[in-house]
Amino acid sequence: MSGGNPKPRIHYTKPSITELEIRYATDAAANGWGEHCYDYIRRFEALFREHLGVKHAIATSSATGALHLGMAGLGIGPGDEVILGDINWIASAAPIVHLGAKPVLVDVLPDTWCLNPAEVEAAITRRTKAILAVHLYGNLCDLDALREIGKRHGIPVIEDAAEAIGSIWHGRRAGSIGIFGAFSFHGTKTLTTGEGGIFVTNDDALYERVLTLSNHGRARGETRQFWPETIGYKYKMSNLQAAIGCAQMERAQELIAGKRRVFEYYRTALSGLPLCMNPEPSDTVNGFWMPTLVVDKDAAFDREALLAGFQAENIDGRVFFWPLSMLPMFRQHPQNRVSHSLYRRAINLPSYHDISNADQDRVIECITKLVCARQ
């Protein structure tokens, strides 16, 4: 505080909306009805297919909906198991539960905070129907190792790339490598449609099944009006949302570059402290959706004190995801030691596209005061 006036608020994230998004949304609101009600949706799907280098894309109301559709398309259901990392947002696990299957929560790697392939292999049973590779905060799972495990056991690898726009694994964009991928366009994400998501795949048969499921079970080419062949879902994106998405796709490289700029400023400024941040191994690109720090185990750190320090400086704080196995709806897995260690030592940093260096400096100052040297 200075002179009784609060310092300007620093949000942890917010979208980048320009005249282009407003123009497209206005056009959709004015003209995107009747025979034009899918125009922006089709355009958005085409732009995303081209960006990702995939054959098929279906715009959805959320990444959760995209995961649900894709898993249903794979036939995942009661009695089946899907392996995923213990450190994740609930949205990755919820569709598994909705389908009557069981999320199998395994430990993560200490550097990427993503699935540990050795733990995945150890968790496979005859009921395992998929491996869900969640690219946490833009960090990439070891897709080569996971796909090799999947190939040996006849199990598909799904990519939850909700947070991985801009991330690239060995020359291929995240989300384009597994049996299918799911992305989020929530208002916090690098590219946004407000709410929204997308299902992507290169598998023709899976695409047709998911396309049918996404339209209340009505198959493409069905000539009878309102004739579903099965019980499906309604996870559609609206034409208005897709209009904003089209503008965001036209600015995709700019928006991804903005995230990388913000991350690099933090990384450089915090490099002398006893902590690590989002990794970027060789032959990969990290989209750095959410710059995150994890304080070393032997350094003095109090996450709640840092959050309180942020609040005092009018800075939004965002905690690292809790281990899912700590939540009341799942069985406890204290043996997942990395997951249960990470959340206490980690925090996400404010990272919207046009955050100023001066505002980042305010965040950095708080961190340097409260992240102490090794004891």
% of the chain exceeding 90 in pLDDT: 93
| pLDDT tens, residue by residue, 93-110 | 999 999 999 999 999 999
pLDDT beyond 50 at 169:
yes
Confidence band, pLDDT 50/70/90 cuts, at residue 2:
very low
Report all structural domains of the chain as residue ranges with CATH numbers, in order of start: 19-250 (3.40.640.10), 252-370 (3.90.1150.10)
- What does the mean pLDDT of the chain come to? 95
DSSP states of 27-57: HHHHH-SGGGTTHHHHHHHHHHHHHHT-SEE
Sign of the CA dihedral 60, 257, 292, 285? positive
Confidence band, pLDDT 50/70/90 cuts, at residue 189:
very high
Confidence band, pLDDT 50/70/90 cuts, at residue 374:
very low
Say if CB 313 and CB 8 are below 8 A apart: no
Residue 370: predicted pLDDT: 86
Q: Which one is catalytic: 7, 55, 151, 189?
A: 189
**Annotation says 7 is catalytic:** no
Q: 306: helix, coil or strand?
A: helix
Say if CB 157 and CB 150 are below 8 A apart: yes
Within 8 A by CB and 6+ apart from 57, the residues are 45, 46, 48, 49, 198, 199, 200
Q: State mean pLDDT over 280-295.
A: 97
Residue 371: predicted pLDDT: 83
Q: State mean pLDDT over 318-336.
A: 93
C-alpha to C-alpha distance for 48 and 163, rounded to whole angstroms: 15
pLDDT beyond 60 at 375:
no
| pLDDT tens, residue by residue, 207-261 | 999 999 999 999 998 999 999 999 999 999 999 999 999 999 999 999 999 999 9
Residue 283: predicted pLDDT: 96
User: pTM for this one?
Assistant: 0.95
pLDDT beyond 90 at 162:
yes
C-alpha to C-alpha distance for 231 and 209, rounded to whole angstroms: 12
pLDDT beyond 60 at 144:
yes
Q: State mean pLDDT over 265-281.
A: 96
pLDDT beyond 60 at 64:
yes
| pLDDT tens, residue by residue, 40-57 | 999 999 999 999 999 999
